[in-house]
Each structure stands twice: as C-alpha cells, then as structure tokens.
Structure 1
Amino acid sequence: MSELARRLNQCKKPVGDQGKLVVEDMNESHYKLTGWGLDKVNILEDSTVLDIGCGGGRTVNRLVSLANKGKVCGIDYSSDCVRWASDYNKELIEEGRVFIKEASVEKLPFEDNKFDFVTAVETIYFWPHIEENIKEVKRVLKKGGKFIIINEIYDDVKFKERNEEFIKNSDMKIYSKDELKDFLKAAGYLNIQMEVKEQNNWICYVGEK
C-alpha cells in the first residue's frame, strides 16, 4: 500500500497512532476551509448543531463558539476519533454543552426534527450510500434547519490529475458540483445554495429542510 493510500484510508476512518497524526493535521489544515463554509450560514447562539464525522473535534469546538448558548453534538464511526474529540472538548463536555457519540450517518441515533444545523466537513466522499445518507440527515433536521456540506475537493478539470490520484488510491468518491446539488434536490431540500472557491477546489452547499 502506498503512503498516499495509507493516509487516505486514515482520512476515511482514523485509528491508532497514525490516525492520531492524521486527525491532528486535519484539525489544522481544515480550519480555514471550515471557516469559509460556516460563513455561509448564520448559526444563532441558542442553536442545536450536529457535526457528522467530527474527527479530532476542532469543528465541534468552533461550533460551540457560535452556538454559545446552545448545544453541539459530534459523531464519528471511529471509536478513536470519539476519544480524541472528547479529549479536545473535555471541559465543554463536562459543562454539558458538547456531546460526542460513536455513530454512523447510516443511522443517526437521534429523534426526528432535533437539530437546527447539521455540518459535514470533508466527510461526504466516504459516505456509503450518499442519497440515503442525505435523507437521513434531513430526518434529524428541524423544519427550516440547514445542512451544510463543506468539501475541499470537487470534480474539476483543473484538478483532474490530483483528484484521479486520490480516487486510484482509495475508495473515496469525488462528486461534481451538480451531482451533490442533485442529491440534495432529490432528498427534498429547499433553497439549495452552492458556492465554490475555484482556485482552491473548495465547495460548499447549504440545503434547508
């Protein structure tokens, strides 16, 4: 297995010592991307927010700074990530402002109509059944709630060589701009917005329930 393949596999489900290094790197490298995406929505101070694929927990921590009178939940299907994200947010968990759970987007362990916002930062590529998973996210959103997808990669000719190398070395799926928008439409999301930062190959979608 190549070094790139090993790293991409850890991006999908970080585990062990190597996964810890990858998660710590993602906490840093995704910070600007995440901020760019979160600027597209207005998270109110009393919002209830879910971060799917919370990794090392920095995005959860950032969401608490926005929803400072609300609650933020992070989930990840890596038990190691749950532990690392919990360590990163230890004080906030003790205060009852943050909850970290081991769970998959395949079946979210929450009742219907629970969250004002759901975020997915750099995780969509690895969702196993993307159309059904997007519907599952909609289930746990409140009416008028928003789903924010933030990716640093989309299918674009300017990044074709790099993206094809990623695909060759992993089972990640890199979507075109229209593909994810069409999935959101098919799932019944409203007022879908899409923005790109072409020079970085970044893309953000916001869909409303």
Structure 2
Amino acid sequence: MESLTKLNCPCLREKAVKAMYKGMNLMTIPLSRWGLSHVEIHDDADILDIGCGGGRNIQRLLRAAPKGHVTGIDPSETAVSMSFALNREAIADGRCDVYEGTADILPFGDNRFDLVMASETMYFWKNPDECVREILRVLKPGGIFLAVNSKGGTCPLDDIYEKIIPGMKIFHQEELEELFLNAGFRDLDTDYKLGALALTAVKPMTKLDAVRKRLLLKEPASYGKIAIMAGILALIGVAIAAGSKKKE
C-alpha cells in the first residue's frame, strides 16, 4: 500500500514527467535536425512550435532565427515550465513566449507566423481537422507548416503503438496529405528517413498577397531605391508640367 501511495504522489508524477521530457529532448535531437533541414528559416522569422515539450526545439529555432521570435505552446503545464526555464534569457529579451494550450484553439491572430512546426505531437491531436485549420489561419500567406514524426506509418510496428498507447494515432502519408489538402494547404512535400516522416505544406498566397509581400521591403537599401525612383518620377512630372506650360 505504501509503495502505491508513493507512485500516486503528485510530486513523484511531476518528476517522472520532467524526466520523460528531458529524455525526449535528448532522443529527438537527430529527428529535429533532420526535420528542420526541410525548411529555410529567415533571420527575422516569426515561428510557432506546437507541442514544444521540454523546449529544446524552441532553443534550436531561436538559433536559426537570431533576429526573429519563437512562440511555444503545449497542453502540459510541466512542459511549459521546462520550456520557460530552458529559454529564460530569450523570454527576458522579448524573443520568446511560451503558453499552455492546444493546437485546435490557438490563441493567436490571423496571418502571424512564417513557420509553424509540430514535432512528435500530431499523434495525440484529438481534433486533427480543426488543428490543421487553426494552423492555416495563423500562418502568413506563403508560410510553411512542418510536421516531423518519428513514426511515419511505413513500419509494420507503427500500428502496434496505437494499440498499446491510449489516444495515439499514427498518420500515414495518404491520410496526412488528404488532411492538409482538405484544409486548404498546397505544395505538399513528404520525405522519409529510417521510418521517420517530414511533411511540409504551404499556405497559398493570392495575387494580392504577393503584391503586399513585394511592397513590404525591409532592407534600407530597398527603401533607398524607392526614394531614388520616386525622385526621378517627380522630376519627370515637373519636366512634363513645365513643357505643357510653355506650349500654352
């Protein structure tokens, strides 16, 4: 009885959960690096890590986007606490935020993120359709979603996990592609390595979105070119106006 009481102790359960997240931080290093090799991350990217776990991927993403911002979200209070502790300096600098929450109700505005990543977490989404629609909503037009799963549905043993782990769902390539295409994603690309799956999907960009993106020039040199062009056009306009007056 005493041993059972110890196992049911909240402090022991929390220690066990923390140990699990620490182990996942170490074991998923090769998987995360391989998954991230499928996307190009700009220095100033705004990134969302869904199911951030112990916070190690947040740390990687912060290094990949030194001028950007990374947000983590996880349904586990323990995971949020660990992610916060691991990325404390970035949070203090205003480059990182961590929230408790789920993928089907993302507490963010529309068209915010350049990249949304979900590593080893899709298995436990209770409402996959709603989760994917929410991801599409918070992504900027042209933004990318990256899913990384160590169990890609190609190994016969993958189906066993669904039977021994409550609530777990292994997604096969056809299921994932149908899920994202139905939500409105395009340009899907799937890659496999040693049974693991990496899927990228793009939020479509309308012609108006493309024009807006071209106008949002961030480099000073670009603004300088615009100023020069505006000056030249102004001079041309003055010359035309002067010529018209002479004719009169």
TM-score for both structures, normalised by structure 1: 0.89
Q: Which letter does structure 2 place at the counterpart of 1:27?
A: N
Post-superposition offset of 1:202: 0.6
* Percentage of pairs with the same residue: 37
CA distance in 2 between counterparts of 1:25 and 1:172 reads 19
Q: Secondary structure at the match of 1:99?
A: strand
Runs of 4+ in 1 over 4 A off after TM superposition: none
Post-superposition offset of 1:164: 3.1
CA RMSD of aligned residues (A): 1.0
**Greater helix proportion:** 2
Is 1:103–2:101 an aligned residue pair? yes
Post-superposition offset of 1:165: 2.8
Is the 2:42–2:65 Cα contact (8 Å) retained in structure 1?
yes
2:160 to 141, 156, 165: 165
Alignment deviations for residues 88-119 of structure 1 (CA, whole Å, 9 cap, x no partner): 11111111111111111120000000100000
Alignment deviations for residues 129-170 of structure 1 (CA, whole Å, 9 cap, x no partner): 1112111100000000000000000222xx21x323311111
Bigger radius of gyration among the two: 2
CA distance in 2 between counterparts of 1:189 and 1:164 reads 27
Q: Which letter does structure 1 place at the counterpart of 2:192?
A: V
Unmatched 5+ stretches in structure 2: 1-12, 204-248
Alignment deviations for residues 52-81 of structure 1 (CA, whole Å, 9 cap, x no partner): 000000000000001110100000011111
Is the 2:47–2:70 Cα contact (8 Å) retained in structure 1?
yes
1:122 to 104, 120, 124: 120
Q: Secondary structure at the match of 1:40?
A: coil
Find the counterpart in structure 2 of residue 3 from structure 1. none
Q: Secondary structure at the match of 1:18?
A: helix
Report the number of matched residues.
190
Find the counterpart in structure 1 of residue 192 from structure 2. 196
TM-score for both structures, normalised by structure 2: 0.75
Aligned ranges 1:10-49 → 2 under 5 Å: 16-49=14-47
Find the counterpart in structure 2 of residue 136 from structure 1. 134
Q: Point out which structure has higher relative CO (alpha carbons under 8 A, 6+ apart).
A: 1
Find the counterpart in structure 1 of residue 50 from structure 2. 52
